[in-house]
Structure 1
Amino acid sequence: MVHWDVATTEPASADRGRDGVELQLCDVWRKLLGRTDVGIHDDFFSLGGHSLLAIRLTVEVRRLFQVDLTAADLLAAATVAELAEIVRRGSAGGTGQLVRIQAGSGGSPVYALPPVSGTVLLYPPIARAMGADQPFWAVQSVGLLPGETPLASLEEISEAFIEQLRAVHPEGAEWNLIGYSMGGLLAYETARRLKERGERVGLVGLLDTRIVVEAGADPDFALRALLWRGLKLEVDVDWLRSLTPEERAKELVERAVAAGTMPADFDADRLRRMIDMYQFNLDALAAYRIEPYDGTVTVFRVTDRSMEDGTLPEDLGWSEVAARTVVCDVPGDHFTMVEPGQVEVLGRRLREQLALAGDAPDTALA
């Protein structure tokens, strides 16, 4: 049974964003209002927003989502959660997979690739822990948005991500890629492909990612992960299994919206796509055949290994395929390393290794 990626569906606090639209709107508000944190239910004007900032807000929304807001829209939707509903209706899924987690103030961006859930909601705390000045983007899996068909292999997924990221990657900047669990394998494969094409690759950060993943046979894996780590709902899984897929999705959406862990405009079809995404990604993992990488990877290895069976090597096997492997210890276990109390150290370690990667020769850290 694959159990090591259950913690990837939601951030520590859903109040800071429950999907890519809300995450990006919170980032825009922080930048415009000069605040360090914004919740999805905070009022724009109560936080210091005014007419001139509102105009700048409409410009940013048009740039990020290709949606034109009116003054009436802003007055009727004064919170991130309310505004996100308008943006989703207006964009009709046209925002793609890119999510800007943090605008930052300069330097080479960090790109975070998705874990097996396909979502990017665990990355905002990591971005904040790296510092508000660090540009930080994330990419969600193809297949979560309406009309998208999931990709069948890690190789295809990696190619699609490269195409998406080129749209925002600064010319001449090095590529810094990180990933949690399965996201680390995607970061590795993406770095390998970029380097083969002569691109400059900086940090390749693998957040407790194993080189080998044993695909599981638990039919309820996705459902359990979504319930307990994502929707924060206490629901009997056996009872849910007795429902039809349509009844199950409708029941979960109603409960999650009432609990505030899903946006009010979330529908059952979108929830079904989230559950299906786990299986698509697990199938892609099972079929992946890793190839050598002529560069350095940095493994962020948890110090609490009580969940492991004691047979995993210190570098989780990456020295078998990478030209050089750096192991960087971080507190917590596989799940808690990205949660408050531990993620702050992870952010600092990432920042340190990012600086070292930028100072080092193209092939490896000094």
Structure 2
Amino acid sequence: MTQRRDARLSAHLAAVADQGLPARAVPQDYLVLPELPTTRDGRVDRALLRTLRGPGRDRDREAVAPRDTTELIVAQVWTDVLGVRPIGIDDNFFALGGHSLVAMRAISRLQRQFNCDIGLADLLNNPTVAELAAVLRKGREGKGRSPVVTLQPEGTEPPYFVVHPSGGNLLVYRFLAEKLAPDVPVHMLETPDLGRFTTVEELAAHYAAAVRATCAHGPYRLGGLSFGGLVAYETARQLTEAGEQVELVTMFESSLAGAPPTDISEQDLLAYRTVHFAHVFELIFGREIALTEDELRGLDADRQNEMLYERIDEAFQGDTAAQILRGTVEHVQQVREMIRHYRPGPYAGPVWLYIGLEPMPPHLNDPEFYRSDRSLGWDVHVPHLRIFDTPGNHLSLLNPPHVSTLAEQVRGLMRATPTRKER
């Protein structure tokens, strides 16, 4: 097996492990062997295996040492959170085994040490020590920051703009962007200050302006997972009303709010939703968050949040990721209010809605946002709605291995609308 194929296999294994294993169990390195070593009696030589180490980086390239204090601090933070050494200034955070939880830890550490507001978007766009250090030297401030994050810059086709889902996870589209390379540029729309907006319409107007600032005129392609799909739809509506051409709108498991459930009291629903956060974090990060609905009943929303935060702190034992997860809870709660009050206007263009073939575990469904109708509420607003099935569920369809099928489906739509940029 060639070194290039080894690297591709290692990258694939890392992606699958990141999404399929608890965070604490994700390997930091991979080593491809032609065969497993054996002892004289034919058994696997586990003692020898324990002495082997993966390359961590290209074998032919030595780590280039940090050149100044900023690079030294970044490299040290990466060493601490990744458990890999030595780390050179040209090493890529994600190639070294970085995943979502580790990325949050690294960003939190750097925010404190440099007293600046860099975020996951900066790490995505600047994944090496040298690149991220250059951002830190500039002492970035949040004011005036563009909401456009470039995930995949290469390609001659019209760019594909995807909107962050509930929770603001910037890494969720990383694998989709990789699968659409090298033909389709992919940009993500995100805002570090969601609190400035109170409605889907306001947020979509902000993103429509950012899309036009990036590409003055269409044809535009937009999409998003969950809440991101709602905002992509509204952004497409506003661009169309402004006279622009939108040729593609894709929504991945994007549900409109249904009628408030009548078989559960408001108090019980509040407790259910608070425990729902704990279940989702357990599934994603592999940490048990001990919290039950019985403990929460009778408490107001603020006290329930406090108890959730206390249990998160206990589960993560002072880890900086606990503070970031608090921000995720606040983000999701605000998004719920925006979805609840959103009333979609009509849209004459085609919209493609993708539904995961695998059901979500029942305890991860929100009674208000879980719908049994296949159109998830969109058929009354979109006359040209087209619904496709895709492997996976709400949490897994954008992750390996399911993302390969989804990417091919989206690429097929793009081939069917073969508009190209004017040269």
Q: 2:335 aligns with which of 250, 262, 281?
A: 281
Q: Which residue does the alignment assign to 1:105? A: 155
SS in 2 for 1:237: coil
Q: Which residue does the alignment assign to 2:184? A: 134
SS in 2 for 1:322: coil
Q: In structure 2, how many angstroms separate the alpha carbons of the residues matched to 1:245 and 1:321?
A: 37
> C-alpha displacement at 1:235, in angstroms?
2.1
> C-alpha displacement at 1:212, in angstroms?
4.0
Q: Which residue does the alignment assign to 1:352? A: 412
> C-alpha displacement at 1:191, in angstroms?
0.5
> C-alpha displacement at 1:153, in angstroms?
0.8
Does 1:324 find its partner at 2:384?
A: yes
Cα RMSD after superposing both structures: 4.0
Give me the TM-score of the superposition, normalised by structure 2: 0.58
- Map 1:195-214 to 2 at 5 A: 195-213=240-258
Q: In structure 2, how many angstroms separate the alpha carbons of the residues matched to 1:252 and 1:91?
A: 32
Deviations 1:36-85 (A, max 9, x none): xxxxxx9788784898xx9xxxxxxxxxxxxxx97553455235369963
Deviations 1:310-329 (A, max 9, x none): 98444444332224122222
Residue range with higher mean Cα deviation, 149-158 or 97-106: 97-106
Structure showing greater Rg: 2
> C-alpha displacement at 1:14, in angstroms?
5.5
Q: 1:224 aligns with which of 278, 294, 303?
A: 278
Q: Report the residue type matching 2:187 in the other structure.
A: W
Q: Is the 8 A contact 1:174 1:202 kept in 2?
A: yes
Does 1:338 find its partner at 2:404?
A: no
Q: Is the 8 A contact 2:288 2:315 kept in 1?
A: no
Q: Report the residue type matching 2:70 in the other structure.
A: D
Q: In structure 1, how many angstroms separate the alpha carbons of the residues matched to 2:222 and 2:418?
A: 13
> C-alpha displacement at 1:353, in angstroms?
0.9
Q: Report the residue type matching 1:98 in the other structure.
A: V
> C-alpha displacement at 1:124, in angstroms?
0.8
Does 1:152 find its partner at 2:198?
A: yes
- Map 1:171-250 to 2 at 5 A: 171-213=216-258, 217=270, 218-220=272-274, 223-224=277-278, 227-238=281-292, 247=310, 250=313
Give me the TM-score of the superposition, normalised by structure 1: 0.66
Q: In structure 2, how many angstroms separate the alpha carbons of the residues matched to 1:289 and 1:242?
A: 28
Q: Is the 8 A contact 1:303 1:329 kept in 2?
A: yes
Q: Which residue does the alignment assign to 1:19? A: none
Q: Is the 8 A contact 2:287 2:316 kept in 1?
A: no
Q: Is the 8 A contact 2:218 2:245 kept in 1?
A: yes
More relative contact order, 1 or 2 (CA 8 Å, 6+ apart): 1
Residue range with higher mean Cα deviation, 275-284 or 114-123: 114-123
Q: Which residue does the alignment assign to 1:295? A: 349
Q: Report the residue type matching 1:319 in the other structure.
A: D
| TM-aligned CA distance change 1:46 to 1:159, over 3 Å | farther
Question: Size of the alignment, in residue pairs?
Answer: 295
Q: In structure 2, how many angstroms separate the alpha carbons of the residues matched to 1:112 and 1:254?
A: 34
Deviations 1:121-179 (A, max 9, x none): 21112222323442111123443xxxx63421111111122233333x23334211111
Residue range with higher mean Cα deviation, 317-326 or 107-116: 317-326
Q: Which residue does the alignment assign to 2:70? A: 73
Q: Report the residue type matching 2:289 in the other structure.
A: V
> C-alpha displacement at 1:348, in angstroms?
0.6
Q: Report the residue type matching 1:275 in the other structure.
A: V
| TM-aligned CA distance change 1:12 to 1:188, over 3 Å | farther
Q: Which residue does the alignment assign to 2:140? A: 91
- Map 1:12-23 to 2 at 5 A: none
SS in 1 for 2:354: strand
Q: Which residue does the alignment assign to 1:18? A: none
Q: In structure 2, how many angstroms separate the alpha carbons of the residues matched to 1:252 and 1:132?
A: 41
Deviations 1:76-106 (A, max 9, x none): 5235369963683632445554322222233
Gaps of 5+ in 1: 1-10, 16-41, 55-68, 361-366
SS in 1 for 2:233: helix
Identity of aligned residues (%): 22
Deviations 1:172-195 (A, max 9, x none): 342111111121111111101100
| TM-aligned CA distance change 1:99 to 1:233, over 3 Å | farther
Deviations 1:194-220 (A, max 9, x none): 000011102100112234445664341
> C-alpha displacement at 1:234, in angstroms?
1.4
